[in-house]
Amino acid sequence: MKNILVPTDFSDNCQKAAHLGIKMAVFYKAEIHFLHQLHTPVDWVKLNKTDEHNYPEILKKIGKAKNKLRELDKEAEHKGLFSRTFLEFISDNKAIASHTHDFQHDFIITGSRGKEKGFLNEILGSNVQNIIRKTHIPILVVKDDQVTFPFKSIVFVSDFNLDEVNAFAKILNLAKKFNAKIHLLHINTNSISNDINNGLQSIKKFIKQFPKLANFEMHIYNSPTVLGGIENFEESNDVDLIAMNSHTRKGLFSVFSKSIAEGVTNYSKKPIIITHL
């Protein structure tokens, strides 16, 4: 992890994400960038100074955004980090993927207020799934619960098909870095004909790809829905981070569509990391 991007709307959860980003940048000795995107009714970049004054509310928002970005920049530099801030003016749902590509970020951390209109809904909107697929880098979404860092307990939710090996390798590297225990969670639902023994066999077959995996536990939960199974697991286990995969195939883990991961990001209060297959 060399370059972390923190998109923020300065909401409480985005501020928590920014502070987490700083901690992770210190841990990895990484560069950190803070990005705020401001919707404007016109192409702000092309306006001259005189015309800008026709939009006093936008000018006020710009001033506040610059001040908050400056505060984050100072906090990061105080920790000895190389930090940059970006204020972009957009009139549509411009993808963050282009910004990530230009600056070669390898990790994104942001906040979401779940069912309310947070950054992911307000800025990324319906394009979230496409952004995740286009950037091909992990995104960590900070939710309502207080973030525990370094992460000591990570639950990897999966159907444990072998096409998820590379994505899991990223989570495993993260867990090793933090000396965290990994909980391998397979959930049997009404729509997935699978008993507990078959679920365990799927996990055991999967982890054969990782012969050095040591600090882990296997879990099989029966639940009418995957979301319900995750919620039940959270209630009975200490969880610092939920890990899921972006999936190009239809079905169980179609990330940020109206499906499993969208439900988790909407309703879970735990931090969630999405990796790309």
Please report, for the domain that includes residue 161, its CATH number: 3.40.50.620
Q: Provide the whole-model pTM.
A: 0.85
Domain end position, chosen among 142, 177, 199: 142
Q: How many domains does the chain have?
A: 2
- Cα–Cα distances in angstroms (integers) from residue 254 to residues 116, 128, 158, in the given order: 21, 12, 11
Cα separation values, 43 from 37, 47, 51, Å? 13, 7, 11
147 close to 271: Cβ distance less than 8 angstroms: yes
What is the DSSP code (8-state) at residue 125?
Answer: G
Q: What is the pLDDT of residue 194?
A: 54
Domain end, chosen from 122, 142, 162, is at: 142
| Residue 131 sits in the same domain as residue 168 | no
CB atoms within 10 A of CB 77: 13
Q: Which parts of the chain register pLDDT below 50?
A: 116-128, 248-258
pLDDT of residue 133: 58
* Residue 148 lies inside a defined structural domain of this protein: no
**Dist CA 13 CA 144 (whole Å):** 7
Structural domain ending residue among the three candidates 113, 142, 171: 142
Structural domain boundaries enclosing 196: 153-276
What is the pLDDT at residue 62?
94
Torsion angles phi and psi, residue 67, rounded to 5: -65, -45
Residue-level pLDDT at 119: 45
- Residues 134, 262, single domain; the answer is no
Q: How far apart are CA 271 and CA 20, in angstroms?
A: 11
Residue 98, pLDDT score: 80
Please check whether residue 147 lies inside any domain of the structure: no
